[in-house]
């Protein structure tokens, strides 16, 4: 079954989702306000770096996938997905203004849609948003009755760098809906994907996304807390977590201790859940601690440098890895940012290398020394901090020999290098 799909928001999630829906055989229009992004998508050139996306976009652009700046496609859509940003407000809660304005814009055009259409939220939103913000805004602007429209919430679980793979082979598909007819329409979109489908109410689907990301972040902060104690006691936390993770009730993934978690989702989503809990009179001590442990990890790495090299001022410190994780050029909330910030404040001469993320980091720290190779960053360095789990760092053993003092602090356990003083979690 081929459906007519409109997706509001051509950012990371909207673009990957839209391209993959087109690949599944649907007719997709991405609605995006940025004309440059629209042009890039229609030319089959991804405006972001994501493994496997370029080929799928090239294959489908101009055929089953197109991008527009207007909402016209909503007038003939079977289903509309909202995948606009929900950035954090200063207090950590989610800013829902883009969700609201997208809902109103959809409603205005939906007026002219003669068939049943389901409005589906894909953005990560606090429980109650689809029912209390999207639903009334669409109904008010469209003048439609609830028999003519359905509402759904279908969260995404796409990891950057592996988003296409995650989309095509998900662990589960979560569909929250206002009524079974709406839920079945969303399920039809995924009919060619093999995965269990969980049907829930709207608010439960919204909460599943926050709870999933917060649980993963909790696993990481828990491993970091154990790892910090292991460090003091001279125990290898990776050996410990291997033993812990083999218990099927715990699972082996997301137990890697080190620099902590970054990216556009975990820090933002845990903060939003903390805010939501507080607004509702709860005291979310566990979730707050997950954030606190994460904030402390970069500083702990620098304390180790200080213990080994003495005063930081004037020391040459190499940073390997700027992206918040491997396979992406994304530096949002990257743990490299607080590390570089503190090193610069303490007067270090920072050299940095990353295979993809240098242009993005240059916008934040224009004055540090960027190198086009790991060798360039390591030459003459007093210490090195590994901030990103790029697999290529396991192949540069010789380059570590170029350091003046071979002190390497591994914020991600990926090195095979055994020379000098390797210090890891
Ligand atoms: C995450 C979720 O995994 C995804 O399901 C969701 O929808 C979006 O947010 P993403 O932010 O792309 O995906 O990255 P992820 O691979 O989950 O890693 C997040 C951060 O945790 C990275 O900084 C990574 O380096 C760090 N991490 C991960 C650890 O520190 N230890 C681990 O064991 C695993």
What digits encode the pLDDT tens for the residues 259-309?
Answer: 999 999 999 999 999 999 999 999 999 999 999 999 999 999 999 999 999
Closest CA to 129 of 99, 84, 166, 93: 99
CB 252 within 8 A of CB 242: yes
Is 358 found in the same domain as 308? yes
Q: Which of left, alpha, beta for 117 (phi over 0: left; psi -120 to 50: alpha)?
A: beta
What digits encode the pLDDT tens for the residues 306-319?
Answer: 999 999 999 999 99
Is 239 found in the same domain as 184? no
263 CA closest ligand 1 atom index: 11
Q: Is 158 annotated as a binding residue?
A: yes
Q: Which of left, alpha, beta for 13 (phi over 0: left; psi -120 to 50: alpha)?
A: alpha
Is 23 found in the same domain as 69? yes
Residues ≥6 apart with Cβ < 8 Å to 48: 12, 15
HEC sequence for the chain: CCCEEEEECCCHHHHHHHHHHHHCCCEEEEECCCHHHHHHHHCCCCCCCCCCHHHHHHHHECCCEEEECCCHHHHHCCEEEECCCCCECCCCCECCHHHHHHHHHHHHHHCCCCCCEEEEECCCCCCCHHHHHHHHHHHHHHCCCCCCEEEEECCCCCCCCCHHHHHHCCCCEEEEECCHHHHHHHHHHCCCCCCCEEEECHHHHHHHHHHHHHHHHHHHHHHHHHHHHHHHHCCCHHHHHHHHHCCCCCCCCCCCCCCCCCCCCHHHHHHHHHHHHHHCCCCCHHHHHHHHHHHHHHHHHHHHHHHHHCCCCCCEEEEECCCCCCCCCCCCCCCHHHHHHHHHHCCCEEEEECCCCHHHHHHHCCCCEECCCHHHHHCCCCEEEECCCCHHHHHCHHHHCCCCCCEEEECCCCCCCCCCEEEEC
pLDDT for residue 421 = 84
pLDDT at residue 186 is higher than 90: yes
Residue 227 lies in a domain: no
pLDDT at residue 160 is higher than 90: yes
CATH number assigned to the domain comprising residue 313: 3.40.50.720
Is 249 found in the same domain as 177? no
Give distance in angstroms: CA of 390 to centre of ligand 1.
14
Is 242 found in the same domain as 153? no
Give distance in angstroms: CA of 360 to centre of ligand 1.
19
Cα gap 116→33, rounded to integer Å: 26
Give distance in angstroms: CA of 307 to centre of ligand 1.
30
Is 290 found in the same domain as 162? no
Residue 221 lies in a domain: no
What digits encode the pLDDT tens for the residues 7-22?
Answer: 999 999 999 999 999 9
CB 208 within 8 A of CB 200: yes
Percent of the chain with pLDDT over 70: 100
Residue 396 lies in a domain: yes
Q: What number is the ipTM of this complex? A: 0.97
pLDDT for residue 424 = 85
Sheet holding 369-370, edge to edge: 369-370, 349-353, 316-320, 383-386, 407-410, 421-424
Q: Calculate the average pLDDT of the chain.
A: 96
pLDDT for residue 315 = 98
Is 388 found in the same domain as 299? yes
389 CA closest ligand 1 atom index: 25
Is 343 found in the same domain as 258? yes
Cα gap 279→200, rounded to integer Å: 24
pLDDT at residue 80 is higher than 90: yes
Domain's final residue, options 184, 200, 216: 200
Is 165 found in the same domain as 31? yes
Residue 105 lies in a domain: yes
Residue 133 lies in a domain: yes
pLDDT at residue 92 is higher than 90: no
pLDDT at residue 425 is higher than 90: no
Q: Which residue among 156, 159, 161 has the greatest number of ligand 1 atoms within 8 angstroms of its CB, and so is best to mutate?
A: 159
Q: Is 257 annotated as a binding residue?
A: yes
155 CA closest ligand 1 atom index: 7
156 CA closest ligand 1 atom index: 7
Is 267 found in the same domain as 131? no
Residue 292 lies in a domain: yes
Residue 330 lies in a domain: yes
Closest CA to 411 of 316, 324, 290: 324
Cα gap 331→314, rounded to integer Å: 26
Domains in the chain: how many in total?
2
Give distance in angstroms: CA of 262 to centre of ligand 1.
7
Is 281 found in the same domain as 189? no
Of the given ranges (56-70, 81-95, 100-114), which has the lowest mean pLDDT?
A: 81-95
Q: Is 222 annotated as a binding residue?
A: no
Q: Is 86 annotated as a binding residue?
A: yes
Q: Which residue bears the tokens 């662990």?
A: 171
Ligand 1, atom 7, residue with closest C-alpha = 157
Residues ≥6 apart with Cβ < 8 Å to 243: none
Give distance in angstroms: CA of 203 to centre of ligand 1.
24
Tokens standing for 423? 């210090």
CB within 6 Å of ligand 1 — which residues? 156-160, 213, 216, 220, 254-256, 258, 260-263, 265-266, 324-325, 389
Is 340 found in the same domain as 250? yes
* Parent domain of 185: 4-200
Q: Is 157 annotated as a binding residue?
A: yes
Residue count (the chain): 425
Domain's final residue, options 151, 177, 200: 200
What digits encode the pLDDT tens for the residues 197-212?
Answer: 999 999 999 999 999 9
Domain's final residue, options 200, 226, 250: 200
Residue range 173-195: mean pLDDT, rounded: 97
Residue 208 lies in a domain: no
Closest CA to 129 of 79, 209, 203: 203
Residues with catalytic function: 265
pLDDT for residue 352 = 98
Burial (CB count <10 Å: 0-12, 13-18, 19+), residue 391: exposed
Ligand 1, atom 1, residue with closest C-alpha = 159
Cα gap 245→254, rounded to integer Å: 9
């Amino acid at each position: 079954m081929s459906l007519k799909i409109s997706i509001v928001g051509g950012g990371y999630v909207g673009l990957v989702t839209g391209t993959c829906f087109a690949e599944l055989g649907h007719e997709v229009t991405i609605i995006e306000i940025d004309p440059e992004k629209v042009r890039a998508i229609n030319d089959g050139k991804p405006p972001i770096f994501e493994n496997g996306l370029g080929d799928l976009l090239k294959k489908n652009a101009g055929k089953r996938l197109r991008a527009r700046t207007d909402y016209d496609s909503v007038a003939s859509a079977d289903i509309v997905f909202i995948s606009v940003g929900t950035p954090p407000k200063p207090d950590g809660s989610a800013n829902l203004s883009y969700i609201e304005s997208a809902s109103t814009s959809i409603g205005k055009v939906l007026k002219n849609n003669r068939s049943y259409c389901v409005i589906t939220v894909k953005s990560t939103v606090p429980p109650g948003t689809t029912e209390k913000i999207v639903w009334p805004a669409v109904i008010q602007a469209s003048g439609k009755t609830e028999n003519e429209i359905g509402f759904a919430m279908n969260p995404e679980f796409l990891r950057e760098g592996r988003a296409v793979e995650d989309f095509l082979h998900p662990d589960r598909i979560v569909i929250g809906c206002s009524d079974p007819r709406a839920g079945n329409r969303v399920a039809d979109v995924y009919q060619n994907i093999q995965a269990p489908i969980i049907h829930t109410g709207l608010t439960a689907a919204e909460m599943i996304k926050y709870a999933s990301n917060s649980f993963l972040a909790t696993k990481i902060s828990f491993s970091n807390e154990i790892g910090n104690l292991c460090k003091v006691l001279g125990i290898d936390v990776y050996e410990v977590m291997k033993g812990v993770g083999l218990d099927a009730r715990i699972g082996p993934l997301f137990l890697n201790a080190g620099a902590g978690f970054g990216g556009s989702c975990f820090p933002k989503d845990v903060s939003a859940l903390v805010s939501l809990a507080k607004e509702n009179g709860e005291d979310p001590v566990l979730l707050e601690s997950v954030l606190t442990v994460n904030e402390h990890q970069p500083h702990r790495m620098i304390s180790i440098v200080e213990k080994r090299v003495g005063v930081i001022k004037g020391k040459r410190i190499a940073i390997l890895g700027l992206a918040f994780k491997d396979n992406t050029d994304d530096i949002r909330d990257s743990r490299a940012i607080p590390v570089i910030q503190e090193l610069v404040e303490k007067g270090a001469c920072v050299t940095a290398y990353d295979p993809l993320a240098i242009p993005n980091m240059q916008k934040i720290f224009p004055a540090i020394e960027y190198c086009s190779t790991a060798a360039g960053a390591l030459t003459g360095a007093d210490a090195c901090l590994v901030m990103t789990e790029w697999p290529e760092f396991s192949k540069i053993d010789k380059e570590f020999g170029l350091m003046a003092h071979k002190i390497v602090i591994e914020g991600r356990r990926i090195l095979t290098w055994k020379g000098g003083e390797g210090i890891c979690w």
